[in-house]
Amino acid sequence: MTQYVVETHDLTKIYGNGHEVRALDGVNLTVAAGELVAIVGPSGSGKSTLLNMIGALDRPTSGEVVIDGTPLSKVRNLDQFRSQTIGFVFQTHNLIPTLTGQENVEVPMYETTLSGSKRHGRAQELLRLVGLGERMHYLPALMSGGERQRVAIARALANRPSIILADELTGMLDSRTTQDILALLTQLNAQQGTTMIIVTHNHEVARATRRVITFRDGKVQSDVAIRSAYESDLLDWKSSTLGQAILQGDGVPEGLKAIVPQLREAFDKV
């Protein structure tokens, strides 16, 4: 039997009283160890809410999240659980601005029993791993966006978590830097076998992963395993306006009409 790192059972989250919003509506998902998963979907589809539930930042209205075989409803101290099991990567400015790169990486380690010198050592090791050996003593304000995100990734790895959760981690980066960061994530995923769940709007990011889960209205719309970049592009195309047009045979541009049958065939495969 496969060991799942993340399982959700009928996960439901309802916000608001009176005017109810079902942010998550009976979501069932499993993520196996070492997977690199992208969660996509329009804003308000529930992907960030899912991330908060998996990250033990919020409790569901009903249903259950199981991390590493532990149901979160049974965990008393969510703070401690978070610090030991989960690594977060947020948008760029979520580093502590008054701390240097190295000190930022050490922040999660304060809640462990590591000594000061061990902490320094581990932070430096992680920063070298993400390719920031040179500039670890700078404040975030003096770093580029990519460098800051590398620090954030190193910080997420600090306590050797089972899962890394990333929310729009490339939201503020240019496409060149996005590529670099993605390369780093895939490399870390391959080398360290860390499970990663990335919430994103960015198709480039989704393309770099092996599995894309699409959310719509608090439900899983599709959950597709991807074997190649070609498939990923096709999937992307299929979900676009043009792709929908091709599938429905309505409003297809003149130049493409000739190859519509072949395209439909390709779409059906993914």
Partner 1 sequence: MILKNLWRRKTRTLLTLLGVAFGVAAVVALSAFGEGFASSFEKMFATTSADLTVSQADAMMAFLSAVDDSLGDELRQVAGVEEVAGEVFGMVQMDEAPYFIVMGEDPRSFTMQRYRLISGQPITTRKQILLGKLAAKNFKKEVGSTFRLNDSTYRVVGIYETGVSLEDGGAVMGLTDAQRAFDKEGKVSYYSLKVKDVRRISEVKAAIEKQWPTLAAARSGEPSRQTEMFGLYRSFGLFIGIFAVLVGGLGMMNTTLMSVFERTREIGVLRAVGWRRRRVVNLILGESLVLSLLGGLLGILIGIGLTLLVRLSPAVESLLQGILTPTMLAQALVIALLLGAVGGLYPAWRAAQLAPVEAMRYEGGSGDVGRITRQLTRWIPGSALRNLLRRPTRTLVTIVGIGLGVGFIVALSAMSEGMIQEFTTLAGAGQMDLVVQDAKASDLSVAALDERVADQVRTQPGVKGVSKMLMKTSSAPGLPYFLVFGADPREDYVKHFRIHEGRVIEKSRDIMIGRFAATSLKKGLGESIRINGVGYQIVGIYETGVSYEDTGGVITLREAQERFGMGRKLTLMGVQLDDPSQAESMARQLEAQFPSITVSLTSAMTQRTQDFATMDAILGALVALTMLVGGVVMMNAMLMSVFERTQEIGVLRAVGWRRRRIIGMVLVESLALSLLSALMGIGIGMGLSALFTLVPTYGTFLKALYSPKVFQQVAALALILGTIGGLYPAWRASRMQPIEALRYE
Residue 141 makes contact with partner 1 by CB under 8 A: yes
Residue 98 makes contact with partner 1 by CB under 8 A: yes
Residue 83 makes contact with partner 1 by CB under 8 A: yes
Residue 93 makes contact with partner 1 by CB under 8 A: yes
Residue 209 makes contact with partner 1 by CB under 8 A: no
Residue 21 makes contact with partner 1 by CB under 8 A: no
Among 139, 172, 184, 247, the residue binding partner 1 under the rule CB under 8 A is: 139
- At 77, give phi and psi (nearest 5°): -100, 95
Q: Which stretch binds partner 1 (CB under 8 A): 50-58, 113-121, 181-189, 222-230?
A: 50-58
Shortest reach from residue 248's CB to partner 1, in Å = 38
Residue 90 makes contact with partner 1 by CB under 8 A: yes
Q: Which stretch binds partner 1 (CB under 8 A): 94-102, 114-122, 223-231, 253-261?
A: 94-102
Q: Segment 107-126, which members bind partner 1 (CB under 8 A)? A: 107-108, 110-111
- At 223, give phi and psi (nearest 5°): -140, 105
Residue 96 makes contact with partner 1 by CB under 8 A: yes
Residue 82 makes contact with partner 1 by CB under 8 A: yes
Among 80, 144, 187, 221, the residue binding partner 1 under the rule CB under 8 A is: 80
Among 8, 124, 149, 159, the residue binding partner 1 under the rule CB under 8 A is: 159
Shortest reach from residue 181's CB to partner 1, in Å = 19
For residues 12 and 6, the answer to whether their CB atoms sit within 8 Å is no
Q: Which stretch binds partner 1 (CB under 8 A): 55-63, 222-230, 233-241, 249-257?
A: 55-63
Among 137, 230, 251, 259, the residue binding partner 1 under the rule CB under 8 A is: 137
Tokens 């299929």, residue located: 238
Cα–Cα separations (whole angstroms), residue 69 to 2, 90, 156, 162, 198: 12, 25, 21, 12, 21
CA dist., res. 261 & res. 270, Å (int): 15
Among 61, 84, 192, 222, the residue binding partner 1 under the rule CB under 8 A is: 84
Shortest reach from residue 249's CB to partner 1, in Å = 43
Q: For binding to partner 1 (CB under 8 A), which residues are involved?
A: 52, 55, 57-58, 79-84, 88, 90, 93-100, 103, 107-108, 110-111, 137, 139-142, 155, 158-159
